[in-house]
Amino acid sequence: MRLALCNEVLREREFAAQCAFAAAVGYDGLEVAPFTLADDPLTLSTARIGEVRSAAAAAGVAITGLHWLLVKPDGLSITSPDAAVRARTIDAIRRIVELCATLGGRYLVHGSPAQRRTPPGIDRATARAWIAEALAAAAHAAQQAGVIYLLEPLPRDETDQVNTLDEAVALVREVGSPVLATMLDAKSAALTETASAPELLARWLPEGVIRHVQLNDRNRRGPGQGHDRIAPIVAALIAGGYRGDIAIEPFEYVPDGPACAARAAGYVRGLLEALSPSH
């Protein structure tokens, strides 16, 4: 299991400095939000992409994958009633999939709650069908690029579409692509699911549909900075033979981004060492 930091935690630093800091405090990689690389990540030049890859390689960290996919450019939505907007968004997804592969990432996390809400005047079933259409296109692009595409369940206060793992799995199976799966975000699971995160992992890891994990507390801070117990989640990952990446994704940085990132790395590394049979 590789430990990755979601790079927006360090967004105020140049990317090379993000890589160097992440490596110094114990991360194996960065999970990159494309909007941190450019205001419009679809316009990234070949030279800039090369710089990003080189910065990670020089620091000895991987670019594990991408997340927060549809924040920029503005105006994207896979549930817009405007077919042209949906088509433009699907084209953006295809290009972001290509970017992930070019950067050496192996997965994309599709969260982007604002860009998948049911619009006023549209029924939820219609919006869900549009989401399935976008996921099918994303999966096709991901299979061609050699990466996996992950639909992220999110809390109901963020979106009304795909709130639970059951709902995500249903869409994944409906599309039926070997490179389309879902993932577990600890905060979202704590806020939305009736079962605990370890129970969800025990249920879904053997099915092969959970292919990524993000750790955080329901209070939106880093793992270990709230009341949610993270050790049982790590234990469930080990017991389930999980071999994917673990990403650290806080939303509130206490006391600040670098300190939060460093604390989380030490905390999760300690859990992995204490709970892994190899230790």
For range 120-145, the mean pLDDT: 98
Find residue 242's DSSP bridge partners: none
8 is catalytic: no
Find residue 30's DSSP bridge partners: 5, 63
* Burial of 102 from C-beta contacts in 10 A (0-12 / 13-18 / 19+): middle
Res 95: pLDDT? 98
Res 258: pLDDT? 98
Q: Which residue has the tokens 């927060």?
A: 68
* pLDDT confidence bin for 277, thresholds 50/70/90: confident
279 pLDDT exceeds 80? no
Res 232: pLDDT? 98
Closest CA to 19 of 57, 65, 68, 64: 57
Res 39: pLDDT? 92
167 is catalytic: no
- Percent over 70 (pLDDT), the chain: 99
5 pLDDT exceeds 60? yes
In contact, 6 and 251? CB cutoff 8 Å: no
Q: What is the pLDDT of residues 181-231, one digit of tens each?
A: 999 999 999 999 999 999 999 999 999 999 999 999 999 999 999 999 999
For Cα atoms 239, 211, 38, give the angle at the middle one, nearest 5 degrees.
135
In contact, 71 and 82? CB cutoff 8 Å: no
Find residue 3's DSSP bridge partners: 246
Mean pLDDT score across all residues of the chain: 97
278 pLDDT exceeds 80? no
Active-site residue identified among 8, 31, 193, 249:
249
In contact, 108 and 149? CB cutoff 8 Å: yes
d(CA 244, CA 116): 26
Tokens for 191, please give them.
């806020």
Q: HEC states along the chain?
A: CEEEEEHHHHCCCCHHHHHHHHHHCCCCEEEECHHHCCCCHHHCCHHHHHHHHHHHHHHCCEEEEECCCCCCCCCCCCCCCCHHHHHHHHHHHHHHHHHHHHHCCCEEEECCHHHCCCCCCCCHHHHHHHHHHHHHHHHHHHHHHCCEEEECCCCCCCCCCCCCHHHHHHHHHHHCCCCEEEEEEHHHHHHHCCCCHHHHHHHHHHHCCEEEEEECCCCCCCCCCCCCCCHHHHHHHHHCCCCCEEEECCCCCCCCHHHHHHHHHHHHHHHHHHHCCCC
pTM: 0.97
* pLDDT confidence bin for 18, thresholds 50/70/90: very high
Residue-range domains of the chain with CATH: 2-275 (3.20.20.150)
Active-site residue identified among 8, 31, 152, 193:
152
